[in-house]
Structure 1
Amino acid sequence: MAASTGVVSSLLSKLATLAEQKYGDVRRIRREITFLTDELSSMNALLLKLADMEELDPQLKEWRNKVRELAYDVEDCIDAFAHHHRLSRGDADPGGLIRRAARNMKKLRASYRAADQIHELKARIMEVSDRRLRYKLDEAASAAPAPALAIDPRLPALFAESKGLVGIEGPRSTLVSWLMDGEGQLKVISIVGFGGLGKTTLAKEVNHAVGAHFQLKAFVSVSRNLNPKKLICDVLSQIMDQKDYGKLEVEQLIPILREHLADKRYLIIIDDIWRIQAWDLVKSALHDNSCQSRIITTTRISTVAESCCSTLKDRIYYIEPLNEVESRELFFKRIFATEHGCPPHLEEVSNEILKKCGGLPLAILSIASSLANKPDIKEQWEMVKKSIGFALEGTPTLEGMNKILLFSYYDLPTHLKACLLYLSIFPEDYVIASDKLVWRWMSEGLIVGEMGKNLEQAGQIYFNELINRSMIEPVGVRYDGKVLACRVHDMVLDMIISLSAQENFVTILHGHEDKFAGEKIRRLSLRCNRPDVEVTQVTSKKFAQARSISLFGYKEMLDLQGFQALRVLDLGQTVLFKQVKNIGKCYQLKYLDLSNTDIVELPEEIGNVQSLETLDLRNCRRLTLPSTISGLRKLVRLLVDYTAALPEEISGLVALQVLSCASYNSVKFMQALGQLTELRSLAFKCWNPDWYFDAGMYKEVSVASLRELGKHKLQYLDICDDDAILDALMCSSSESDCPFPHLQKLVLSNHNIQRIPRWIGSLVNLCHLEIVVKTTRQNDLGTLGNLPCLLYLKICRLYEPVESQQFIVPNRGFRCLKELCFQCWCPLGLEFAPGAMPWVQTFRLWFMPCWKSCDHGVSVGLGIEHLLELKLVDVETGYGCGKREVKSFEAAITAVVANHPRRPALVLRRSGERSAVRKENWTAVETNMNKSLFDSSTVRQSLQKESRDSSTVKQRLQKQSRFQT
C-alpha cells in the first residue's frame, strides 16, 4: 500500500503546482486539472485508510492497483506537458513577430495534445471511480473484519527449553550482572534488536536466572496497537490476587499498582515496546522506590530504548546475531539432533542457507524446521535454499518468522514504507552509501519536505529512522555519528522484494533468461554476475515507463531512446560500460551515476537534460566532459575525479552546491568558479602554474574566486597542492580577516604552510580540520583548542616544535573533539596533560622516526592514560629507522595502552603493511575520516552516546554566548 499512496500523494502535489500556473488560453486543461485533483484526492483518502490494513480484500487490492497505475500514467502525462511548455517558452528569441508567433503556436499545439491525453486519462479515472461506487468499496473497507485471532509468534520463545538455546550464556551473564549490581534505586535495562534476534527469549532466561531474588515479578507483552488498560491489568494479575479489574478505568488502576509496588522489590519485564508513549504509561504506573527494583524492556526501536534508559544508571543492551559457529550448532541440532550430524554432501548447501539467515535465530530455526522432515537429498535442500524468504510464505513452519518481520514493516509510516521498498533495487550484501540513497529517494519524489528542513535533510532523517527501527543495518560511523552506509539483512531483503513485487514497485531481472509479461515496469533492477552473459537488452517497448534503471552486471552500451519517464539512471556497478546514447531525450532525468565505469566521454546532448541534479562520474579514468554541461542550470552535485577534464566555462551551473574533485589551471575556469555563489562544498586541486605564461594572473584570480565563494555559502573546502595560492590564502594576519567565515570542514592536504593561520580561530562552526604545517608552537594549540565545535583534528607536523621538543596538549580546550590524528616525521614530542581532550574516543598516530630521533632514542611519554573516553588507538610507523627502534616504540605504545583504565583497542601496523580493506562505495573523503568499520551494535551505541554527549556539550556551549550549538 506504501507505493500506491506515495505515487498519488506525489501526483497531487504536482497538480497543485500546475493549477497555479497559466498555460496559454487552453482553459480546458485547467478544468481537467481541477477534476483530476478532486477525484484523486478522494481516492487518496481511501488509499490512506487501506494503508493501515495488513490484509486486503481481493476487490480492494485490485482497485488499489488500478489507482496506482493510473496515477503513474497521469504523472507521466503531466510531466511531459510541463516539459514541452517550458521548452516552447524558451526555444526562441523574444524579438521578432514571426518567431513569437511560431513559439506561441508550438506551445498551443502541445497544450491541446496534452489536453487530449488528459481527457483520455479522465475517462479512466471516472471508470475507476464508478467501480468504487458500484462495489461499495468504502463500506467494504470500513466493515472489513479484524484479522482472525492467531497465535502470537513471540509466544513460543517464552516456553523454549533452555537446553536447546544457543549463544545465550554471554548475553544472559551480562544482563544478570547489570541487574544484580546492588544499586538501590530503580534501574531500567532495555534490550534492543531486530525482530527475530531473540530479545524475548533472552528476557525470559534472565527472568529465570534472577527471579528468585525479587518479591514480585511480571512478564507482559505489548502489542503494536497499545491497549493501556490491558497492559496495566496484565501486570496486576501477575503480582496480586486475581480480581475483576476490568470494571476499573486506567486512572483507577495505576494508583492501585503503584501502591502495591511502593515498598516491594519487583522485577517487571515489558516485552516488545513499539512506542515511547507506551513506555511513558509504564513509567507512570511503576513506583520508583529504593528497594533495588528492576525493569527490563525489549524493543526493536533505538529511540524507544533511549527513552526507557534516560538516567545514567540505566543500561541498553544491543543484542547481536549468532556468529557462524553458533548458527551451525543451532541449525544442525534442530535437524540432526547433533551439531556434527550433517552429511558431507549437504555441507555446502547448509553453509549457503546459514549465510542467508545472517545469524537470525528465528530464521535458522524456521528453515531448519522445514528441512527436518525432508530427506537428506541435496537437490531438495537446494530448492529450499533458492526459495528462502517470502517465496515460502505458505509454508507453516515459516509463518511465524514472516509475521515477526512484517510487524516491523506494518509499523512504519507510509513514507518510510516506500523508502524501504526502494532498497529492493540493490542486490544481496550490497553496501549502499547514505548520500547515494537519499539523493535517489529525492529524485523519485519519495521524500516529503518538512518544516524548516530541505529535502536532503529530511531524507537523512528518513535514513536514520530506518536504522533506528532496525530495518537496515548501519555500516561505518563517522566521528560525528553520521552513518556512512547501510546494508539490508537477507531476510528483510526477501520481505521487501516480495512486497515490492506485489505493488509493482520494483522489477528485478537477471539476464536473458527472464521473460517479463506483467504490468508496466516502473523501476528496473537489472543484474547479471556472469562475465560471459550481458544483462538483458533494455528496449523502450518493454521499459519505456521506467522511472529508474539500475544495472549491476556487464554491459558496454545503453540506448535510452524512448525513456522519457526516467528519473534515475545508475550504471555505477556496470562492468565495461563505455557509451550511453540518446541521453538528451531523458528530460525527466535527475540522477545519473556513471561512476566506476569505462566511459571516457559524455555526449554533447547531456546539456539537454535540464532536470539533472546529480552527476556522479567518480573513478572514471581520463573522462572528458563537454562544454554543454554548463547549461545544466539545475545541477546540484557534480562529482568527478582530479583526472577529469572539465570545460573552462562552468558559470552556467547556477544551482551547483557540491563540486568534487575538480582540477584546472585555466584563469577562465577559476574566474567562472568564483561565480558559483550557491557552492557549499568544494574539493579542488590547484595545478602548479610555474610553467604557465601568466602564473601571477592565475594566482590572483584563484585567490579572489576562493575568497568570493567564502563570502557566500561555502561550508566544506578541500584544497590540494599549489603553495602559491594557499600561501596567499593563509597569510591573513588577524582573526577578523577570515576568508571563509562559514566553514564547517577544512582540508589542506599535500601543502606545507609555515604555521597555523590566526584566522582559523574565528571559525566558530568548524567541525573538521586537516592541516599540514612545517612546525608548530605551543600557542597554536590554544588557537585550535578554542574552536567550539571541532570534532575531528588531523595535524601533520614536518619539523620539531619551535620552543621545545615537547608538544603538550593542555587540560583546556578541545572540549568537543572526538577523533585526533597526529602525523610527524620528527621526534614525537607529543604529550597529553591530565584532563586534556575529555571526549576523544579515537587517537590515530602516524610516526616516521627520522635518523636524528633514532640517535636520541624514541621515548613515549604520551600521557594517553589521561584521555578518559579513549576507545581506539591506531598506530602506524614508517621506515625512517631500523626495525629494532620501531619494535621498541611499538612495545612502549603497547605498554601505555595496556595500562589505560578503559583498555582501548590497539592497532599496530607499519607502512606498506596495511591490511586489505574491502572497497566500499561511499566517497573517499568520507572514508578517510574514519577508516574503521563498526558493526551495527557499535554504531548504535555510538549514536546513543553521541546523543547524550551532544546534550552535555550543548549545555556547556549555551553558557558561552559566542559558541554556536
Structure 2
Amino acid sequence: MKPLGSHASAELFFSIVCGSEHRCPDQLKEVSYRFIGKCGGLPLATICIAGLLASQTDNSELWHHLQKCLCSNLSTSPTLEEMLKEVLNLSYSCLPHYLKTCLLYLAMYPEGFTMWKVDLLKQWISEGFITAKEEKEVEEIADSYFYELVNKGMIQPEQINHNDEVLSCTLHHTVRDLIMYKSKEENFITSIDYSKAITGNSNMVRRLSLHFSSAKYATKPSGVILSQSRSLFFFGLLRCLPSDVEFKLLRVLILDFWGNQYGHTSLNLTRICSLVHLRYLKISCDIIVELPAQMRGLQYMETLEINARLSAVPLDIIHLPSLLHLSLRDETNLPDGIGRIRSLRTLQYFDLGNNTEDNVLSLGGLMNLQYLHLTYSTVQSDEHLKRNMVALASSVIKLVNLKSVILAPGALSTAIYHDVLSSVYSPPVFLQGLQKLDLLPPICMFSSFPKDIGAVRKLCYLNLVVRELRRNDIDSITGLPALTVLSLYVRQPPAESIIFNNGAFPALKYFKYMCGVLCLAFQEGALPNVHRLKLGFNARKGQQYDVLLAGIQHLVNLKKIDGIIGAAEGAEEPDRSAAESAFKDTIHKHSRFPSYVNVKRVDWVEEENEPRTEVNSSSSKCHEILQEQRGVNETEEDTKQFADSGVTNQIMQMSPQHMDLCAADTKLTMPSNNRMSFPEKLHDNIAAEAVSFSCTTSSGSSPKSSSAPSSHHSLPETYTWDPEGSPWSRALSPPTPRNTSAPQSAMHPMLSPEDHISRAEGTWSTAYFHPLPLPPSAISQVKATLSNQPAPKVEMSLVAGQWEKRKLIGSGTFGDVYEATNRHTGALCAVKAISIPNDSRSAESLKQLDQEIKLLSQFKHENIVQYYGSETIEGHLYIYMEYVHLGSINKYIQQHCGAITESIVGNFTHHILRGLAFLHGQNIMHRDIKGANMLIDGNGVVKLADFGTAKHCYYVIQSNFCKRMGTPIVARQA
C-alpha cells in the first residue's frame, strides 16, 4: 500500500486520539507530529500508535517517554518495514497482560484465516482468559477486550454490520509474525505447518495448532509432550489427527477437515468423553460424525458446534449442566426434552418439522435462551405445522431473555403458502429485550402488518413478509429508536403511496422494499440516517411512470441505491426499459446520484395477483431473498466507496445471532474490452470429432491417479479417534510441481483474441465455447470414444433396462462409476452404482444421494452434467448421467504436457461461472466447487458435477451462507 501523505497521516492520527486536531491539547501537538513522522505514512503503524495514546491524553509525560523509546530503537534511516515492526513491538509491549494473552491466542489460526468474533470470545472464555468483574458477565468483558484490540490496531475488522458491530477480523501479516514470535518466546502456542518449520517449543506444548492442509502425508514431531495441552486446532487430513490419549487437560478442540479423506467417510468420536475438561468443541467437515451414545461425562462442556452430518444426537445431551451454545446442522433431529438444558443461551437449529409438539412446548423451559434459530425443513401436514406454531407461541412468551428469533423454512422445504403465522401468533410485545426478528416466507407471511411490533423498543433488525400493506400501517414502527435494518416484502401492490413522515425511522441505515408496484413518498426529515436503499418492482405492459419515489431528495445521508426490476405478466423488453429509465430519472433528482445507479433485472418480483405457477413463484421469491442476503451488510470499505464490491469471503460457520447479512452484492466483472482469447490452432482431429455430450466421472480421484481415480473401499471406512494409537507414521512430502516451462506446441499454441463474450440481460453468448488444448494421451481416446457417437436423448420413463453396463471408469465414496451403452442408440452414459446398505450409519449417505438425484433431475444446462434418470435393482441404486470423457480439471492439469495459459484458465473460469449463475438463478448452492467436481468434454466445455452437498434455498439463512462447505482450505491458499 502506498504510504499516506503528511496531511492524511495527521488526520488519521488525530481522529483516533481525540477526534480531530483542534481538540488535541496544545502541549501534545508537537510530540504528536513526531509520532506521525516516525510512522512513515504507514496506516497500520499510525493506527497502532494512535490507539496506544488515545486513552492517555492527560499524561504528557507518558507520551514523551514512548516517543523517546520509539526513537532510540530505530536506526538513523530505518526502512518502512523496520518502522512498522518497531511500532508494533512497542504497541504490543504496552498492552495489559490480559490483552496480550487474548491476542497471542489468534496465532492458533492459519495465516490469512478469517476469524469470527463470536468464536474468539467463546474460545477465550473456555480457555479461562476472561474473569468476571462485579456485575459484568464474562461475555461482556470478552467483547470489550476484542474491541480494545481493534481500537489499538492489533486486529483488523473485516465485516461490520449496520450497528457498527465487528463480525469478523483478520491479522495483518506483520502483526501475525510478531505474535508468532512472541508465542514461541513464551511457549504459549506451538504451531506446526506441514510446509513450514515448527513454530514454538518442541517439548512441553501448552496449545497445539496443526495445519496439514491437503498434505497427503504427515509425521508427528518428535519430542512433543501433549499432556499439558489446553487447546488443539486441527486443519487438514483426517488420518493425520493425533491421538487423544495425551490430551488430559484439553479445554478447546477444533477439528476442520474437508475434501478427499482417502477413504474415510466417518469420524468416530465415541471416546471423546475421556476429555473431562473439554469446554469447547467445534467440528467442521464433510463426512459423518459419530458421537458417543452418552455425553453426560462432559460436565464442563459450554459450546457444542458441529457443522457436519451426525449419525445420531446422544439422547443424554439434555443433561449437560454447563452447555451454553448448541449449534448443529439444520435437519438434525434433536432428542425430546431439549427444554431441560436450562443453561442454554444459543440454539441453532430447531426444526419445527422434525420435532414433536411436546418438544416444541419444552422450549419454554429455556429461560436463559438468547438466540433461537428455527427452521421447517420437512413438509408435514398443515395441521402438524399449525399445532407446532401454536406450541411455539406459548413457549416463546416465556423466554424473557430472548434477543434474536429467526424463523424460516429449511433449505429443502417445499413452499407452504398458508398464513399460519398470522392466525395463531402475533409478535410478542412482552419481549422487550428482542433485538432481531427475522420472519421469512413461506410459513412466515402475515395477512396484514403486525402493528404490535412497534412495542418492541430495542428491535434493531426486522425482516417481514406481508400480504397487504395499507398506507398508514408502517406508522406503528416508524418510532422504533434502535431499528437500523428493515426489509419488507409486500405481496399485494398497495392501492396508494406508502408515506414516510418527518422523523420516521431515526436510526434506520438500510431499507429494502420489494413489491410489484413501487410507490413510496419521503417527507423532509424522514429516514435521516439511511444510507442504502434496495428497491424492487415489476415493469408493466404499457405503463406510464409518474411518481416512483417522491421526495427522495430528502434522504440527505443516502449513499447507495440498488434497483431490482422484474416483469409482470405480458411485459416486454420496451416495458422493462421504460421502467428502468423512469427509475433512474427519479434517482437522479437526488444530488448524490447524478449519473450512476445500480439496476439489476430479474424475471419477476413476486406479487400475488399475478397468474404465476407455484414453482415460478418460489423461484422468484428465493432469488429476491438470496440477493438480499448477499446485500445487506456492508464492509467499511464498501460504505466508503458507495458501490458494490466483488468480495469473496472464506465460507465458514458462525452463529446467526452475530451475523445480520453478508457484506455486499456480488458482481461478475467482465474484462474492460469484453473479449476473450482463443487458440489460433486446434488439433484438426479433435475439432472434427468433438461432440457435445462426452463426459466421465470426476469424484474422488487421487492427485496421482491416471485414467481412473484412486479406489475407495466398497463399504464406508470409519476413522476412529482412538486413545490407543495414532496414525502418525507417514513421511512428509510436498506435492510434485507440474511443468510450467514446456515449449509451445500444436496442442498448446499462443492464444489470441478472436471473438467476444457478450452478456445481455443476464445471458451469455455461446461464442466462447471451443475445444481446449488437450494432452497427447487424450487425443486417441477422444477419437476412439467420441467418433460417430450419437448424442443421447433419454426419456425418463424408459430408463429401466435400456443401459448396458461396461467398463469401470472410477470409484467414489458411495460406489463405483461405469461406462454404459444405450441398448437402442449406442450412446454412452456414466452410471453410478451404489449398494443400498440397511444400517443407521449409512442413512445420511443415502440422504445425500437422494439430495443429489432430486437436484440433478431439475437441471438442463450445458455447464451442468446432465442427469438421465435412476433406478433401483436388487438392492442397488443406479444413477445415469452424461458421459464426460476427459474427466476432471484436476486430471486435465495433471496430464497437460505444457503450461496452462492464462487464457485457458479464463475460459475455465467463465464456463464455471456460467454454470454457477444458472444454479444460483435456480436458488441452488453447490457448496463443493473444486477441480475434481469440474469436468471437461471434448469441446472444452466445463461442466459442474457432484451435487451431494448442494442445497436448494428458499432463502439464505445467515449461518448457512457463512457455513464452510466443500474444500475451503483450497480457497484460503488461493
TM-score (norm 2): 0.54
SS in 2 for 1:674: helix
* Gap change, CA 1:918 and 1:882, over 3 Å in 2: farther
Aligned-residue offset at 1:281? 6.2
Aligned-residue offset at 1:874? 3.1
The one-letter amino acid paired with 1:789 is A
Aligned mates of 1:441, 1:641 — CA distance in 2: 24
Matched, 1:595 2:280: no
Task: Give me the identity figure in percent.
Answer: 26
* Gap change, CA 1:689 and 1:673, over 3 Å in 2: farther
Aligned mates of 2:54, 2:386 — CA distance in 1: 63
Aligned to 1:779: 472
SS in 2 for 1:491: helix
- Out of 99, 112, 115, the residue aligned to residue 416 of structure 1 is 99
Aligned to 2:433: 742
- Out of 730, 734, 737, the residue aligned to residue 425 of structure 2 is 730
Aligned mates of 2:420, 2:601 — CA distance in 1: 34
Contact 1:764 1:787 in 2 (8 A): yes
* Gap change, CA 1:812 and 1:690, over 3 Å in 2: same
User: Over residues 608-633 of structure 1, what are the superposed CA-to-partner deviations in whole Å (9 max), with x where a residue is unaligned?
Assistant: 21211111123x24663221211212
- Out of 637, 649, 664, the residue aligned to residue 918 of structure 1 is 649
* Structure whose alpha-carbon radius of gyration is higher: 1
Aligned mates of 1:747, 1:621 — CA distance in 2: 26
Contact 1:641 1:662 in 2 (8 A): no
* 1:136-215 correspondence to structure 2 within 5 Å: 168=4, 199-200=36-37
The one-letter amino acid paired with 1:656 is L
The one-letter amino acid paired with 1:830 is L
- Out of 543, 547, 551, the residue aligned to residue 230 of structure 2 is 547
Aligned to 1:828: 518
- Out of 132, 137, 146, the residue aligned to residue 454 of structure 1 is 137
Aligned-residue offset at 1:785? 0.4
Matched, 1:495 2:188: no
Contact 1:622 1:643 in 2 (8 A): no
Aligned-residue offset at 1:813? 2.5
Aligned-residue offset at 1:567? 0.6
Contact 2:539 2:566 in 1 (8 A): no
* 1:83-98 correspondence to structure 2 within 5 Å: none
SS in 2 for 1:805: coil
* Gap change, CA 1:400 and 1:855, over 3 Å in 2: closer
Aligned to 2:245: 561
SS in 2 for 1:598: strand
Aligned-residue offset at 1:648? 2.2
SS in 2 for 1:665: coil
Aligned mates of 1:726, 1:738 — CA distance in 2: 16
Q: Which moved more, 1:478-487 or 1:855-864?
A: 855-864
* 1:660-675 correspondence to structure 2 within 5 Å: 660-663=348-351, 664-675=354-365
Aligned mates of 1:552, 1:530 — CA distance in 2: 9
Aligned-residue offset at 1:738? 3.0
Aligned to 2:460: 767
Aligned to 2:148: 465
SS in 2 for 1:610: coil
* 1:516-527 correspondence to structure 2 within 5 Å: 518-527=202-211
Matched, 1:433 2:119: no
Aligned mates of 1:274, 1:678 — CA distance in 2: 37
User: Over residues 285-326 of structure 1, what are the superposed CA-to-partner deviations in whole Å (9 max), with x where a residue is unaligned?
Assistant: 9xxxxxxxxxxxx99xxxxxxxxxxxxxxxxxxxxxxxxxxx
Aligned-residue offset at 1:424? 0.8
Matched, 1:757 2:450: yes
* Gap change, CA 1:866 and 1:466, over 3 Å in 2: same
SS in 2 for 1:909: strand
Matched, 1:279 2:57: yes
Structure ranking higher in helix proportion: 1
* Gap change, CA 1:282 and 1:531, over 3 Å in 2: closer
* Gap change, CA 1:888 and 1:505, over 3 Å in 2: farther
Aligned mates of 1:579, 1:450 — CA distance in 2: 40
Contact 2:481 2:507 in 1 (8 A): yes
Aligned-residue offset at 1:472? 0.7
* Gap change, CA 1:850 and 1:773, over 3 Å in 2: farther
Aligned to 2:639: none
SS in 1 for 2:187: coil
Aligned to 1:701: 391
Aligned mates of 1:675, 1:657 — CA distance in 2: 12
Aligned to 1:130: none
The one-letter amino acid paired with 1:459 is A
Contact 1:807 1:829 in 2 (8 A): yes
Aligned mates of 1:623, 1:830 — CA distance in 2: 51
Contact 1:562 1:585 in 2 (8 A): no
* 1:17-56 correspondence to structure 2 within 5 Å: none
Aligned-residue offset at 1:877? 3.5
Unaligned 5+ segments in structure 1 are: 1-164, 206-220, 225-270, 286-297, 300-361, 369-397, 935-965
Aligned-residue offset at 1:827? 0.9
Aligned to 2:663: 931
Contact 2:545 2:579 in 1 (8 A): no
Contact 1:434 1:486 in 2 (8 A): yes
The one-letter amino acid paired with 1:929 is L
Matched, 1:530 2:214: yes
Aligned mates of 2:448, 2:337 — CA distance in 1: 35
Aligned mates of 1:173, 1:410 — CA distance in 2: 23
Aligned-residue offset at 1:821? 1.8
Aligned mates of 1:539, 1:625 — CA distance in 2: 37
- Out of 619, 637, 657, the residue aligned to residue 325 of structure 2 is 637
Aligned to 2:530: 840
Aligned mates of 1:521, 1:277 — CA distance in 2: 36
Q: Which moved more, 1:741-750 or 1:507-516?
A: 507-516
Contact 1:540 1:563 in 2 (8 A): no
Unaligned 5+ segments in structure 2 are: 68-73, 410-415, 603-622, 631-645, 667-974
Aligned mates of 1:636, 1:809 — CA distance in 2: 42
Structure ranking higher in strand proportion: 2
Aligned-residue offset at 1:573? 5.1
Aligned mates of 1:189, 1:885 — CA distance in 2: 62
Aligned-residue offset at 1:490? 0.3
Q: Which moved more, 1:538-547 or 1:557-566?
A: 538-547
Aligned to 1:405: 88
* Gap change, CA 1:654 and 1:558, over 3 Å in 2: farther
Count of aligned pairs between the two proteins: 584
The one-letter amino acid paired with 2:549 is G
* Gap change, CA 1:463 and 1:878, over 3 Å in 2: farther
Aligned-residue offset at 1:808? 1.6
Q: Which moved more, 1:656-665 or 1:873-882?
A: 873-882
Contact 1:814 1:837 in 2 (8 A): yes
Aligned to 1:351: none
User: Over residues 239-292 of structure 1, what are the superposed CA-to-partner deviations in whole Å (9 max), with x where a residue is unaligned?
Assistant: xxxxxxxxxxxxxxxxxxxxxxxxxxxxxxxx9684346534679x9xxxxxxx
Aligned mates of 1:565, 1:411 — CA distance in 2: 31
* 1:222-621 correspondence to structure 2 within 5 Å: 274-276=52-54, 278-280=56-58, 400-511=83-194, 518-533=202-217, 542-556=225-239, 559-572=243-256, 575=259, 576=261, 578-581=266-269, 582-618=271-307, 620-621=308-309
Aligned-residue offset at 1:500? 0.3
* Gap change, CA 1:596 and 1:838, over 3 Å in 2: farther
Aligned-residue offset at 1:814? 0.9
- Out of 327, 338, 353, the residue aligned to residue 650 of structure 1 is 338
User: Over residues 909-943 of structure 1, what are the superposed CA-to-partner deviations in whole Å (9 max), with x where a residue is unaligned?
Assistant: 34479867434436374555352399xxxxxxxxx
TM-score (norm 1): 0.54
* 1:799-838 correspondence to structure 2 within 5 Å: 799-801=492-494, 804-824=495-515, 826-838=516-528
Aligned-residue offset at 1:501? 0.5
Aligned mates of 1:903, 1:424 — CA distance in 2: 44
SS in 1 for 2:232: strand
Aligned-residue offset at 1:422? 0.6
